[in-house]
Amino acid sequence: MNKLWSLSAVQISSGVRNGDFTVEDYVFQLLERINAIDKKINAFITVNEEALETAREIDTKIKRRETIGPLAGVVVGVKDNICTKDIRTTCASKLLHEYMPPYDATVIRRLKEHDAIIIGKLNLDEFAMGSTTEFGSFGPTHNPWNPDYVVGGSSGGSAASVAASECTASLGSDTGGSIRCPASFCSVVGFKPTYGSVSRFGLISYSNSLEQIGPIARTVSDIVMMMNAISGHDENDNTTRFQKKYEFSYASDFENPVRFGLVKELIEGSDPVISRLVYSSMDLLSSIGFKWEEISLKSIDYSLASYYTIAMAEASSNLARYDNLRYGFDCQPEGYEWNSYFSKIRNNFGDEVKKRIMVGSHVLLSGYYSKYYLKAQKIRSILRQEVKRLFKYVDVLISPTMPVLPFKVGEGIDDPMKRYLIDANTVIANLVGTPAISIPAGFSDKLPIGIQLMADEMQDQLLLGVSKAYEKLAGIDRRPDFI
């Protein structure tokens, strides 16, 4: 059969059930596709050699009419900071190039239990620190819509592989926008669920109070399918909650008109092309009866400084574990003095990681704690109160996902602050813990633009329903044609 790779998860799952094609056919096509196009994109760090064998096992189950999981046939790529048993997990860091995890992350275990197939591990900024997927030890990932441009990040491989139809869907992690930013830059859907919806067990930690695993896919329905597999309580992650199944709900299901708040500060701070698109998106949503008003989020001025303080402080503490003793690369510890061994080994971190660890050490210095870290947590608290108050009046906050269009690979790479500022719209959801999604909204000069929708904590279902309605109205292309 032709072009199975272009199908959505929903179509794949019904296709293999009806016997329209085999899982093996589908996986084979994807592997051929990866082989043919990934050198242009560089989304994959590792391709799973076992994928075809797993596909045959699922085909056998189908043939024998055995029970199959809801994701049978669905092929998932995984950001390379999520542990996969016996498939190397590198975090795009020299320190972990040879790391072979002895266990699966909870999300991987659940995907396998649902009969999804893991096709490989996807590129990222080293330890997920970045917004462009240029800062990893395997080189940059290129945008499938135009390979001269950045793909966004840090889950750049996860968004690019889905946009280029190298897998059905993928997993990313989102610490300050790392799922939504590349989803926006690649014209795919990226969802960061409420903090605690998805287990982080097996996610290699960068900033644990902010980060959350979530899916990237070409349609909102596929996001729902993925969430039903990966979400829910896990005794290995104490921040997780019990979770009802998500429904594929539509606009007609809304009893009352959904009220949108257009976040003034985030729209004013964006490229005018992008701001205009947010207003026209809102017009589309009004056409089916949704209400909107302009709202203001004052603590935004300080949210980015608060975010980077917390993220870097947690990074310096989380990355202290990389001593190269229990795992790492081959370096004989005998003959070295304790501290000099670690300092030598740890200098193999990339530039961006080293900077963040050092700034993290700075903000946690005993004399500076109340100047930075405590203040950052207080701003987090104010932002939370402000956002919670807004959600009494509106159901969904709408803004651009990214204030800028995708830019060229390498552009402004020496100015860290310039790169950090583009996270302004996305960090809010991580600081507060709310769910947020990026949905394709249009293009400017053939470069994708996404809009961000954000709902109150635990209102993931509402958010997905509204997203589904918007997706249908906007009807934006999800597939670049150069490949």
Can you tell me the distance from the alpha carbon of 345 to that of 3, in angstroms, rounded to the nearest whole number? 47
Q: Which of residues 342-361 bind another protein (CB under 8 A)?
A: 342-344, 346-347, 349, 351, 354-355, 357-361
Whether 270 is catalytic is no
Catalytic residue, chosen from 13, 155, 170, 178, is 178
Q: What is the smallest separation between the CB atom of 3 and another protein, expressed in angstroms? A: 41
Q: Which two tokens stand for residue 171?
A: 């997993």
Q: Which of 66, 272, 338, 392 binds another protein (CB under 8 A)?
A: 338
Q: Is the preceding omega at residue 154 within 30 degrees of 0, hence cis?
A: yes
- Looking at 249-257, 375-383, 394-402, 467-475, which segment touches another protein (CB under 8 A)? 375-383
DSSP state of 104: -
Nearer to another protein, 356 or 468 (CB): 356
Kindly give the pairing relationship between strand 259-263 and strand 396-400.
parallel
Residues 6+ apart with CB under 8 A from 394: 259, 260, 261, 293, 295
Residues 6+ apart with CB under 8 A from 407: 149, 150
Q: What is the smallest separation between the CB atom of 372 and another protein, expressed in angstroms? A: 6
Whether 178 is catalytic is yes
Q: Which of 127, 372, 391, 470 binds another protein (CB under 8 A)?
A: 372
Nearer to another protein, 342 or 443 (CB): 342
Nearer to another protein, 36 or 374 (CB): 374
**Measured at the alpha carbon of residue 367, what is the angle toward residues 310 and 128, in degrees to the nearest 5?**
20
Q: Which of 47, 61, 97, 103 binds another protein (CB under 8 A)?
A: 103
Q: 179 near 171, Cβ under 8 Å?
A: no
DSSP state string for 26-51 = HHHHHHHHHHHHHHHH--EEEE-TTH
Q: What is the smallest separation between the CB atom of 335 and another protein, expressed in angstroms? A: 8
Is 99 a binding residue for another protein by CB under 8 A? The answer is yes
**Residue 305: count of CB within 10 angstroms of its CB:** 14
Catalytic residue, chosen from 13, 79, 199, 205, is 79
Q: Which of 14, 35, 60, 238 binds another protein (CB under 8 A)?
A: 238
**Measured at the alpha carbon of residue 422, what is the angle toward residues 281 and 221, in degrees to the nearest 5?**
45
Q: 463 near 455, Cβ under 8 Å?
A: yes
- How many residues bind another protein, per CB under 8 A? 68
Nearer to another protein, 128 or 469 (CB): 128
CA atoms within 13 A on the CB side of 358: 10
Whether 291 is catalytic is no
Gyration radius from the chain CA atoms: 21
Q: Which of 254, 302, 407, 443 binds another protein (CB under 8 A)?
A: 302
- Looking at 73-81, 100-108, 170-178, 245-253, which segment touches another protein (CB under 8 A)? 100-108
Can you tell me the distance from the alpha carbon of 202 to that of 324, in angstroms, rounded to the nearest whole number? 18
Is 272 a binding residue for another protein by CB under 8 A? The answer is no
- Looking at 28-36, 37-45, 278-286, 300-308, which segment touches another protein (CB under 8 A)? 300-308
Residues near another protein (CB under 8 A) are: 99-100, 102-103, 209, 233, 235, 238-241, 302, 305-306, 308-309, 316, 320, 323, 325-328, 330, 332-344, 346-347, 349, 351, 354-355, 357-363, 365, 371-372, 374-382, 384, 414-417, 420
Catalytic residues: 79, 154, 178
